[in-house]
Structure 1
């Protein structure tokens, strides 16, 4: 199973995935990092692990379809089977969704359907909820609306700060994401055998 990770920022989840693959906790090959931010730290992480990285910015293309068509060319060239989003801050469009139906996984820092969108941790904290968490889900045409693969709760303590909550959420993400990716790969492989 060949994987491409899409990321926009610091890349801690990218690093966790890369290490899980190295340690054979995820049985896959990490072929490619796609990044939409030329100054993102995730690019340094990819370089240090000798994982090829491609910077593609949608603003360089006239339409989303044109942008995603170029993305698809990179994915096809690397024979990618599964796309894993790890802090990728763009909404996936129809062109990618059609080609990779049920083959794009995302991690989101809340218990979906609560607090979708770009600031899930901050929104949960501001709402004063007693629990939030992490969701891994398949990507569909909505924003954080695809079928849920796994969720884990995180309690919000009375003395919680936004920073301490972020730290707890990231810790859960890092332990949870590799095992959910591996379970989904096993599911896809089983389906291939049975089809």
Structure 2
């Protein structure tokens, strides 16, 4: 059984989607630890209710970003995590951290990368006037939302969409996309060749 660590900052709806798919047998994974930079994140409550170990690492309680990331890394290593899943983790990880976990960090972004990286991908899509948006699950590299893409889900953008209405529609697909990507990883079906992620049949 592969062990994963999940990093969160907020309500943890993507964490819940992963937990649900583990519970129903779809994902052959164990969430070994859930780590948040916010001690009051609702995601931690979700994990605690499911008897999953939780750790809070506040950035302001650390003297430096290096110390902050060292504590996160120590918590992941202590639980034997093989993969780090960013599920609404709102901090940029340093190149040192990413390189230490090279090709072992997966993120989900609420836009069709490489379009609209960074914050508020949904608002960027609405403001730009695109007809389709969606979400992207990708491996994390040292750039901002620039790592190799595992899979994407597409949703139409309606003429009357706001950032919030589009975000809600994309979130439904996020809850499908992240477990799908994790299943491919857990089954050893992903290989990275340069910028491309190849999926074995």
With normalisation by structure 1, the TM-score equals 0.92
- Preserved CA contact (<8 Å) 1:10 1:40: yes
Distance apart, 1:23 and its partner CA: 1.5
With normalisation by structure 2, the TM-score equals 0.89
* Over 6 Å off, 4+ runs: 188-191
**1:122 aligned counterpart, secondary structure:** helix
Q: Which residue pairs with 2:31 in the alignment?
A: 30
Figure out how many residues of one structure are paired with residues of the other and give that number. Answer: 191
- Preserved CA contact (<8 Å) 2:99 2:142: no
Q: Which residue pairs with 1:136 in the alignment?
A: 137
Q: Structure 2 vs 1, CA of residues 144 and 53 (structure 1 numbering), >3 Å: closer, same or farther?
A: same
Q: Which residue pairs with 1:168 in the alignment?
A: 169
Equivalents in 2 of 1:18, 1:92: separation in Å?
24
The structure in which a higher percent of residues are helix is: 1
Alignment RMSD: 1.7
- Unaligned 5+ residue runs, structure 1? none
Q: Which residue pairs with 2:68 in the alignment?
A: 67
Q: Deviations over 1:58-101 (max 9, x none)?
A: 22222222221121111111011000010000111133212211
- Unaligned 5+ residue runs, structure 2? 193-201
Equivalents in 2 of 1:132, 1:141: separation in Å?
24
Distance apart, 1:133 and its partner CA: 0.9
**1:107 aligned counterpart, secondary structure:** strand
Distance apart, 1:33 and its partner CA: 0.3
Task: Write out aligned runs for 1:1-195 (5 A).
Answer: 1-187=2-188
Equivalents in 2 of 1:85, 1:49: separation in Å?
19
More displaced stretch, 20-29 vs 92-101: 92-101
Equivalents in 1 of 2:152, 2:113: separation in Å?
8
Equivalents in 2 of 1:22, 1:190: separation in Å?
27
